């Protein structure tokens, strides 16, 4: 496994490869696919405190639904949802905070409010200025491979059968573009993190294949974030509603760790911290 170095955030060291880090999801959208949207600042603070107690390493705060077909919300509405929560958490919880947004204005305000990481679900395709923002503030930037801009993998099939039959090739192509865009804007190598984007324009069978072949992304030499939590591919396999997919998520997380995931983004922090710790004990040579 390639040496991916380490990252320092809020007096914490993230040493990639030594153990798996858990990112807890703080969802402030009422239209969440997973049914976990929070309606108030106080509810978000309470959930964040619980996740911190349960062992989360990072908290990821988002205000816009990623449900397929969900309408984008305005910048003002997204700011109204996320900034009060970030301001409160930045002074109350000693964990790095991430903002899940592809909008420059939201990301900029979130950094002013106290976030430590930018999480761009569009991998700079919607607004490349996020790279300059991350470079200027010297903060980590998570780059996700999102196929919704091309109409999903089915649209790729019509123009490039070779890529369609190899979903990892599509993801690698997408992430290479995102990484190069970030580098050209001056983002340091140690601040770049990649995410294959489970869901987000992929067929559910491709999601299974992505997890099975996650180790092929190691060629990029970057920490890998995996976000399988409660996703629809679990529904297709187990036929369960979003709030009853913890075992399916656990299986995906454990196999993802075996294939090289460095961070897992999850709703059920308590259970996934245990899954990560057990998986690390089996897999990670530096586990203590």
Q: What are the pLDDT digits (tens) for 129-168?
A: 999 999 999 999 999 999 877 555 555 555 555 555 688 9
The per-residue pLDDT for range 158-196, each reduced to its tens digit, is 555 555 568 899 999 999 999 999 999 999 999 999 999
Say whether 81 is catalytic: no
Distances from the Cα of 45 to the Cα of 93, 116, 176, angstroms: 9, 17, 36
pLDDT of residue 244: 94
What stretches of 48-163 adopt beta strand conformation (E)?
Answer: 58-62, 97-100, 117-120, 141-144
The per-residue pLDDT for range 59-77, each reduced to its tens digit, is 999 999 766 666 788 999 9
Q: What is the distance between the alpha carbons of residues 276 and 272, in angstroms, rounded to a whole number?
A: 6
Residue 181 in any domain: the answer is: yes
Q: What is the mean pLDDT of residues 35-46?
A: 78
Distances from the Cα of 37 to the Cα of 82, 100, 212, angstroms: 12, 14, 30
pLDDT of residue 202: 87
Say whether 265 is catalytic: yes
Helical ranges in the chain per DSSP H: 41-54, 75-92, 104-113, 129-137, 153-159, 161-164, 167-184, 204-212, 232-238, 246-258, 269-283
Residue 72 in any domain: the answer is: yes
CATH assignment of the domain containing 180: 3.20.20.20
Quick one: tokens of 265?
């983004």
Residue 192, beta-bridge partner list: 141
Confidence of residue 33 (pLDDT cuts 50, 70, 90): very low
Question: Any idea what DSSP says for residue 30?
Answer: T
Residue 8 in any domain: the answer is: no
Residue 68 in any domain: the answer is: yes
Among the listed residues 103, 230, 245, 265, the single catalytic one is 265
pLDDT of residue 231: 93
Residue 12 in any domain: the answer is: no
**Least confident among 4-13, 79-88, 105-114, 153-162:** 153-162
Q: What is the mean pLDDT of residues 46-53?
A: 96
Rg (CA), the chain: 17
Q: What is the mean pLDDT of residues 236-265?
A: 96
pLDDT above 70 coverage of the chain, percent: 88
Element (H, E) at 161: helix 161-164
Residue 2 in any domain: the answer is: no
**Least confident among 27-31, 202-206, 265-269:** 27-31
Higher pLDDT, residue 131 or 286:
131
Phi, psi of 286 (to 5 degrees): -95, 10
Q: What is the distance between the alpha carbons of residues 79 and 99, in angstroms, rounded to a whole number?
A: 11
Q: What is the mean pLDDT of residues 93-114?
A: 97
Among the listed residues 202, 231, 245, 259, the single catalytic one is 231
Look at residues 48, 54, 52, 57 and name the one whose alpha carbon lies nearest to residue 14: 57
Q: How many domains does the chain have?
A: 1
pLDDT of residue 34: 47
Phi, psi of 262 (to 5 degrees): -105, -30
Contact, 61 vs 119, CB < 8 A?
A: no
Residue 7 in any domain: the answer is: no
Q: What is the distance between the alpha carbons of residues 249 and 232, in angstroms, rounded to a whole number?
A: 11
Residue 23, beta-bridge partner list: 58, 265
Q: How far is CA 31 from the centre of its chain?
A: 18
Enclosing domain of residue 39: 18-283
Residue 245 in any domain: the answer is: yes
């Amino acid at each position: 496994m390639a040496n991916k170095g380490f990252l320092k955030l809020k007096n914490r060291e993230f040493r990639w490869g030594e153990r798996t880090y858990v990112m807890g999801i703080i969802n402030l959208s009422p239209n969440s696919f997973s049914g976990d949207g929070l309606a108030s600042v106080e509810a978000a603070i309470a959930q964040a405190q619980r996740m911190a107690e349960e062992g989360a390493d990072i908290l990821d705060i988002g205000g816009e639904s990623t449900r397929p077909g969900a309408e984008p919300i305005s910048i003002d509405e997204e700011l109204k949802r996320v900034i009060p929560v970030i301001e409160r958490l930045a002074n109350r919880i000693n964990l790095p905070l991430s903002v899940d947004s592809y909008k420059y204005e939201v990301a900029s305000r979130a950094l002013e409010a106290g976030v430590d990481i930018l999480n761009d679900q569009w991998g700079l395709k919607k607004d490349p200025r996020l790279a300059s923002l991350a470079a200027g503030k010297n903060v980590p930037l998570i780059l996700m491979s999102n196929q919704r801009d091309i109409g999903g993998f089915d649209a790729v099939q019509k123009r490039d059968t070779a890529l369609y039959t190899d979903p990892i090739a599509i993801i690698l192509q997408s992430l290479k573009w995102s990484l190069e865009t970030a580098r050209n804007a001056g983002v340091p190598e140690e601040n770049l993190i990649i995410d294959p984007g489970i869901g987000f324009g992929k067929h559910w069978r491709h999601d299974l294949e992505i997890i099975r072949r996650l180790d092929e992304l190691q060629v990029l030499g970057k920490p890998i974030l995996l976000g399988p939590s409660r996703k629809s591919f679990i529904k297709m396999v187990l036929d369960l509603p979003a709030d009853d997919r913890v075992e399916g998520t656990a299986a995906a997380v454990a196999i993802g760790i075996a294939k090289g995931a460095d961070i897992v983004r999850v709703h059920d922090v308590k259970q996934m911290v245990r899954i990560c710790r057990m998986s690390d004990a089996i897999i990670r040579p530096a586990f203590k």
